[in-house]
Structure 1
Amino acid sequence: MITKNLEDFKKFIPVEPSFREDGFEKLTSFLENVYKNTLCKYIGKEQAQIFNQYSGNSEIIKEAILYAKQTETNLAIYEYLPLGAIQITSGGINIVAPKDQKSAASSDIRDVQRYYKRTGLKALDNLLQVLEENETEFTAWKSSKQYTKFKKLLVNSTQDFQEHYNIFDSRQTFLSLTNELETVEYQYLIPVLGKPVLQTLKTSEIQNDIVKEVKDYVSKANVFYVVSKTLGSGLYFQESTGFQLRFDLLDYERNFGSKERLNSFIEDQRKDKRDEAYNFLKMAKKLIQENPDVFKSYTPNTQKISSPFINGKGIVAI
């Protein structure tokens, strides 16, 4: 873990003067858990180990380590809170409260959990932003599977996604959508454009206005198809201007959105985004067909672009 001692811990978590080393020792397993299952997951094991052992003077790396510690401590407390008042002994499990005090109610614990989870995940988002904006300082992260996984996509950064749809510059929101971005490539983009053209758009460094325009259209289609799949899922805090991952959602609440009927507003938004994606993909295909000298790897496909909607008698059917 990156948080080494009680002094480190107190910089991020306000505790009573009576909280001493023995209290910190109870939290070390939770700190280790966050280190292994959250930090290593998002930034890679090698980069996390560098933070753990770092003794240099780079201010950028020190800033990243500060966010890593804030992530570690806040999420550790989030995990610890439901168990903090429980004492496990050979005689059984007891709830312990000091004299003249009473144990916090479950609702109070949940509210505090939300605070620490939100704070910890915001710190993780800040950490990812520092890494993303200073790639040359974090070579271990740049060579990690976590980094290369999303860099192989057409829309491969928070900034790329943000250009087409507002996710409030949230790195974790972008990372949570990478699987859907890849799925959309296979589901919609490749059947229309073909793998060679998509690969050209991903890797081409040609400063050609036509290529740029096609890439912009295809990127918009990619993002809007993902947005149409994501809206109403319950995992994201949605505003009229965009959405972002819900940092205050407790684990057992994670699937609540799927149990509710989507309201007509969300359904309309989903349809609008699918229609926009479909139209942008059509525009990209038209440009490609009109410029065979630019897109020499394109093979005409007689199959029409499949729209996700079929017009029925007075209704719209999926």
Structure 2
Amino acid sequence: MSLLNTVDELKQFVSIDSRTIPPAIAIALREVEATVIRTVLGKPLADWLQAAYDADGFDADSADDLAAELLRLVQAPLGRLATAIGLPEHQVIIDGTGVHIIVSETSKTAFQWQTVKAQAVLQGRGLRDLDMLVQWLEDNYQSSAELQAWATSDAGQRHRRELFTSTAQFQEYENIGDSRAVFALLGPVRRRLEHFELGRVMGHEFLQELRDQTLARNLSSDNKNLLRTYVLPALASLTVGHATPEMGLKFTGEGIELMVARIDDSNSKEADAGLDQLLKNKADQALLTGARWLNQLTAYLDRTASATRFATYFNSSAYTPPKPEPGRDFTAKTYRAC
């Protein structure tokens, strides 16, 4: 039981010259569907789509109903991500005598850099496809009972349990190359700063109100404007500032690895000159920008909050009444030195 079964379906998304799905990619298809696709869809929606796909006469290419459209959106990330994962194993043959590469008079195994490049392209496209799938579900969740059930399920709310809900939303404020992988990598830092920094400035009660409304897809107009104008820009800049040094290192089973890469693929050492200073400058600038956003956020809330507007903030300890402007005493004598 799978949501992509034939090589013709795979060829809609991956350039592959084969009459059948290669074994390594077939294994990866099952893995990606179980760990990625079904996590996004959730079991009820995935089972509904599977039933539609398995029904006699179902043709995703020609049908224009909801299930066919959803299946096409699902097969794109499924096929591309699975091919990227299965590509290295597909490059070799494993038998009782060991691991071998394929060499003949007409073909030979690709160079490593070619395989790595192909993997990167497929993975990048697959992750963008995954973003498109989630966005389509968000845009259309009211169009059927199945999608409405998805929207209120754990699967449909998993990406809404923080203030930033998508890669594209974060990209509006900080350039991460529209990368879903980077957005996910920033997640722990982003959620930590949301709690400690935004909670400190806005009060945890008001922060929870914004979280609850984001989760329920019912942000008030005032809160939506506040998020877009101050909260999300501040959180994005602070995230980049704190994550820049953190993302340079990765914990592995063998210790801690350095994760700083060059853009160029040459071995020129000049590319490394002043790298630590560049990273520090990037982090410092982002932190400074984030602090400015937080100051503007506080000033705006203190200036506009009342018992009827931003009431949760107004009634919290985070609220500071603005100081009254000093008035002029027109009865006081004025002296001027000539």
TM > 0.5 fold call: yes
Equivalent residues of 1:86, 1:95 under 8 A apart: yes
Equivalent residues of 1:85, 1:96 under 8 A apart: yes
Describe the SS at the equivalent of 2:260: helix
Give the Cα separation in 2 of the matches to 1:159 and 1:105.
34
Describe the SS at the equivalent of 1:102: coil
Displacement of 1:79 in angstroms is 1.9
Equivalent residues of 1:196, 1:297 under 8 A apart: no
Give the Cα separation in 1 of the matches to 2:103 and 2:227.
65
Matches within 5 A, 1:89-168: 89-137=95-143, 138-158=147-167, 160-167=169-176
What's 2:293 paired with? 280
Structure 1 position 5 matched with structure 2 position 13: no
Displacement of 1:167 in angstroms is 4.9
Give the Cα separation in 2 of the matches to 1:85 and 1:170.
27
Displacement of 1:32 in angstroms is 0.4
Structure 1 position 87 matched with structure 2 position 93: yes
Q: Among 313, 316, 324, which residue is 1:298 paired with? A: 316
| 1:227-286 deviations in Å (ceiling 9; x for gaps) | 223447779xxxxxxxxxxxxxxxxxx963289774544432322221222222223333
Give the Cα separation in 2 of the matches to 1:114 and 1:206.
40
Give the Cα separation in 1 of the matches to 2:34 and 2:84.
16
What's 1:29 paired with? 27
What's 1:269 paired with? 282
What's 2:259 paired with? 256
Describe the SS at the equivalent of 2:142: helix
Gaps of 5+ in 1: 236-253, 303-318
Q: Between the two proteins, what is the percent identity of the paired residues?
A: 21
Equivalent residues of 2:24, 2:90 under 8 A apart: no
Gaps of 5+ in 2: 249-256, 263-271, 321-338
Q: Which is greater in Rg? A: 2
What's 2:37 paired with? 39
Give the Cα separation in 2 of the matches to 1:36 and 1:200.
34
Give the Cα separation in 1 of the matches to 2:228 and 2:16.
52
Q: Which residue type is aligned with residue 150 of structure 1? A: H
Give the Cα separation in 2 of the matches to 1:158 and 1:101.
40
Describe the SS at the equivalent of 1:136: coil
Describe the SS at the equivalent of 1:93: strand
Q: Say if 1:229 and 1:140 are closer, same or farther in 2 by CA, change over 3 A.
A: farther
- In the superposition, the TM-score normalised over structure 2's length comes to 0.67
What's 1:315 paired with? none
Q: Which residue type is aligned with residue 66 of structure 1? A: R
How many pairs align? 280
